[in-house]
Structure 1
């Protein structure tokens, strides 16, 4: 599984294992690995194992034929590819940005920022499959910092920068840390501002101190980027519940994040745009999309010279 996960997305991967009947997330992670339960143990051939292994071989062969045919069909025809990160509380913004980027000629891949989604974006960037990243929803950074259940790990927001891929970033849903059902929220957070999103998801508002730490983390990671990286910060709220009179409204905390971000990138190449808008306002999404288009265009022009 470890070897297969290292292969690029799209390369056919079929793994037969006795472990495939349980929790397979440690084996699959953010790859497109296909797992097949062996049913019987891998100990010699018998009537059951021959059927299972035969089906696995046929599946791998079919994937390989389709992969080769699709590769030939797509050669020279592909549009530039952009990854966009989304959460339920930033969906309107990403929908608008995706439509705008499609108008500009891009294929937009949308990833749900639930840990695996963020890791998938990082992997696609490392695999050289992206021309740009619209990282509108960086909420996984909050889970990594505070201890939520949707962390994408410490390498989140690093791959595009390391490879010089243009990226435009926003603090989408940094106002929240994610937990499971309300009863599973750690006792140390019992007095914090909590919002039961549904029966299986409980959100916790980030404090001013945590937002300052997140702004610093974001700034530090982007400042190390080898390519163009810019931040768009909406001054009227960073998620659907961070609005005036909303359950997570906290302008002071949001400002702490912005101030820390600006301090972290001061003197570097990262530009920070403050917009008098909410993150889900169409104007904000279009501004991010248009800016990413310009950065990708300029980056491609420099690369050809």
Structure 2
């Protein structure tokens, strides 16, 4: 039988969670109640298989002390960390096929933190009053399924019965499928998996690399470097689901440095290095910072060079100083990598508009970036290739792909 963790505040939502437990049992699921309510009884009103005290302890906290402190924010943060530790342990022990939670903003924040700790592919369903707004704080970069509660999570009524009933049925079905996969894993076709980053203005290079890798027998997962795409790729690498990374498009680093809208955060370009996953990296689209419509560009950038890409995207050219900082950051991240790394530096432009006569042509700025990479990686184990071509010229993507193939092949042979 599939096992679903029913995760919630059993001090305030006993009626709702009791009703859900019955529906999941009727659907053929085993249920593990995980109580994250800071004022729950020891058994969570008979619903808790893992008590609130145990959840707090998993975060290194004491439930009594959390109550006595009277700091709701700190208590919720501790219970969120504890819940993440609990569901992760259950998953690793083979005792978890799905997670279901319901709640308002507080309960959703705790449940979202726990769900984001689980690998991609583990069913995660959150019924929330917050699901109709900005959901990034709850979903993050993993496959959390959100369902809007329509009415508040306050008892079981004619509307919530429909919504919660659908939620229970949905997670039961997903958990059953997960349990079958766990019991009878799908046959691995043997193809190694590579994650690649792409932007519209680096598409020719990435397409050539992707086609080359496909010819060499790889499954290639392409991520659009829009902030969310970069974070999703980093998360997938951390989950251990890829054998190599072809990071030709590192443009999100420019948004993180300058304040654009497509930042993937300061941890971008670190997951593969920490995990020892082979990676080939380039400087694709570092010539630009992304903003929304032109009228949304901050006033402090009024004297900069812009290109209106379309009605919703405005591009701003990075300066020589900014490109130098970006080169230094890339070198620092790659020098710290624990796995094999090669860098490909295109000497004639880094994007589709950074070309001879192009709107963002700036050879001095590009060279400032490349010079910092050369200097920062000098004496390191990272191999640097200087290619006398534009990043989108024929042959660049193929050369990068072939280099990654060599690294992945060697890495597999050394296991």
| Deviation string, structure 1 residues 233-268 (Cα, Å, up to 9, x no partner) | 111110000000000011111111000011111111
In 1, Cα distance between equivalents of 2:120 and 2:157: 33
| Deviation string, structure 1 residues 68-97 (Cα, Å, up to 9, x no partner) | 445635243342110000111011111111
Q: Hey, what does 1:214 align to over in structure 2? A: 326
4+ residue runs of structure 1 moved beyond 6 angstroms? Answer: none
| Deviation string, structure 1 residues 131-167 (Cα, Å, up to 9, x no partner) | 0000010000000111111110110000100110000
Q: Hey, what does 2:145 align to over in structure 1? A: 34
Classify the secondary structure of the residue corresponding to 1:282.
Answer: coil
Match of 2:295 among 161, 179, 183: 183
Q: Hey, what does 2:205 align to over in structure 1? A: 93
In 2, Cα distance between equivalents of 1:57 and 1:77: 33
In 2, Cα distance between equivalents of 1:265 and 1:74: 42
Classify the secondary structure of the residue corresponding to 2:280.
Answer: strand
**Matches for 1:151-230 after TM superposition, within 5 Å:** 151-230=263-342
In 1, Cα distance between equivalents of 2:180 and 2:198: 31
In 1, Cα distance between equivalents of 2:192 and 2:165: 38
Q: Hey, what does 1:299 align to over in structure 2? A: 411
Classify the secondary structure of the residue corresponding to 1:15.
Answer: strand
Aligned length, in residue pairs:
303
1:14 aligns with 2:125: yes
Q: How much is the aligned-residue C-alpha RMSD, in angstroms?
A: 1.1
Classify the secondary structure of the residue corresponding to 1:281.
Answer: coil
In 1, Cα distance between equivalents of 2:289 and 2:296: 13
Structure possessing the higher relative contact order (Cα contacts under 8 Å, 6 or more residues apart): 1
1:119 deviates by: 0.5
Classify the secondary structure of the residue corresponding to 2:269.
Answer: coil
Q: Hey, what does 1:62 align to over in structure 2? A: 173
1:266 aligns with 2:266: no
Q: Hey, what does 1:132 align to over in structure 2? A: 244
Q: 1:55 to 1:75 in 2, by over 3 A?
A: same
In 1, Cα distance between equivalents of 2:316 and 2:363: 16
1:291 deviates by: 0.2
Q: TM-score, normalised by structure 1?
A: 0.97
Q: Hey, what does 1:43 align to over in structure 2? A: 154
1:4 aligns with 2:106: no
Classify the secondary structure of the residue corresponding to 1:171.
Answer: coil
Gaps of 5+ in 2: 1-111
Q: Hey, what does 1:53 align to over in structure 2? A: 164
1:10 deviates by: 1.1
Larger radius of gyration: 2
Q: 1:145 to 1:199 in 2, by over 3 A?
A: same
Q: TM-score, normalised by structure 2?
A: 0.72
Classify the secondary structure of the residue corresponding to 2:338.
Answer: coil
| Deviation string, structure 1 residues 155-187 (Cα, Å, up to 9, x no partner) | 000010011000000100000000011011111
In 1, Cα distance between equivalents of 2:372 and 2:406: 27
Q: Hey, what does 1:285 align to over in structure 2? A: 397
| Deviation string, structure 1 residues 85-119 (Cα, Å, up to 9, x no partner) | 01110111111111110111111000000111111
1:127 deviates by: 0.6
Gaps of 5+ in 1: none
